[in-house]
Amino acid sequence: MSLSHNAAAPAAARPQHASPAPAVQSPDGTASDDSLVQSWKGDAIADLLGAAELGHLYRRWMMQAETQLPRLNEFLGQDSQKMLNGAMMLLQVPHDFLFLYQGAESIKIIGRNFTGSLHSEQKHAVGVAIRTVYEAVITTGQPHYLRYVANFSEQHFCIESLVLPIAGDERRSSNLLLAYSAALDDKIDVLKAIFDHSLIGMIAALPSRSAKGDVSGGQILMINPRARSILKLPQSLEKVRTVNDLGPWFRNGALWTRTSVIVAGRQTHLHYRDRGSNASYRVTIEPLDRFMLFSIVEVPL
């Protein structure tokens, strides 16, 4: 795709009715709805933007671009530092883009500071696909909206991004990009939803350790609905607050009898038989950094 500089006309801001465009390629080279990066332009952007701040930036650009492509100082206005906090600024160079600046909020969301590097250094599939969209923004003089899986973020799975073409000189040629990003999710929320809806009974606990570093118990943090059902736990957890409370509950509350214990590496597998239904269960205890995870599954007799 050409990276030629294009003078923007008033039509640059004119709404377009279009499906996702340009077609961002999936790893096998064909455009698809499950591509690593999805991109839209035209009318679709206003409807798809999730973060309120991205909507504000989009409307600001559209208003300024009604007559001509805005220059950087025009778009940023008087509070340029605040306007750049969530942005990446990229300059088109021959066959590439140079990251001129990346604000603190952008670094936090994306999980990496790209300032001073070339976009072509991002060899992973998501980076290559995003560069294709950047080229389209320069070529068309139109904003594009992206959604993609976060490669570097420790806090988020999915990112939304608004990419705006900016004039670099008085000729109003589009050779600058401002890319604003926001999180579409929070990993904690996603992982909690998985925990809550899992068909495997799960209990998370914060272990307590003796002076020698041995685990001597722990405080129960979370019990998912499946574990509550299997263990016949009451709504109130007055009787099961700690790890040491689990053994008595297995025996007297769930009416389980332990049949075997198997240690495999860091995992301990406790096998139980339900004295009421005669069903068999396996409780796997596994230490995970600062936590202990109890997984409970029914096993065939």
Burial class (CB in 10 A: 0-12, 13-18, 19+), 70: buried
- Where residue 30 falls (left for φ over 0; alpha for ψ -120 to 50; beta otherwise) is beta
> Quick check: is 87 in a domain?
yes
Residues 92 and 130 in one domain: yes
> Quick check: is 2 in a domain?
no
What pLDDT does residue 213 have?
62
Q: What is the CATH number of the domain that holds 146?
A: 3.30.450.20
| Residue indicated by tokens 């420790």 | 154
Residues 295 and 224 in one domain: yes
Asked whether 75 and 65 are in contact (CB, 8 A), the reply is no
Question: Domain boundary at 152, 185, 218, which?
Answer: 185
Which H helix or E strand runs over 133? helix 125-140
Residue 113, domain extent: 10-185
Tally of structural domains, the chain: 2
Residues 41 and 144 in one domain: yes
What pLDDT does residue 238 have?
77
Residues 166 and 251 in one domain: no
* Rounded Cα distance, 102 and 113, in Å: 7
> Quick check: is 234 in a domain?
yes
pLDDT by position in tens, the chain (length 301):
333 334 434 344 443 433 344 434 333 333 334 467 889 999 999 999 989 999 999 999 999 999 999 999 999 999 899 999 999 999 999 999 999 999 999 998 888 899 999 999 988 888 889 999 999 999 999 999 999 877 665 665 688 999 999 998 788 888 999 999 998 866 677 778 888 999 999 999 988 776 666 666 788 888 999 999 999 988 777 778 888 888 889 888 889 999 999 999 999 999 999 999 999 999 999 988 788 899 999 998 7
What pLDDT does residue 15 have?
39
What pLDDT does residue 208 have?
79
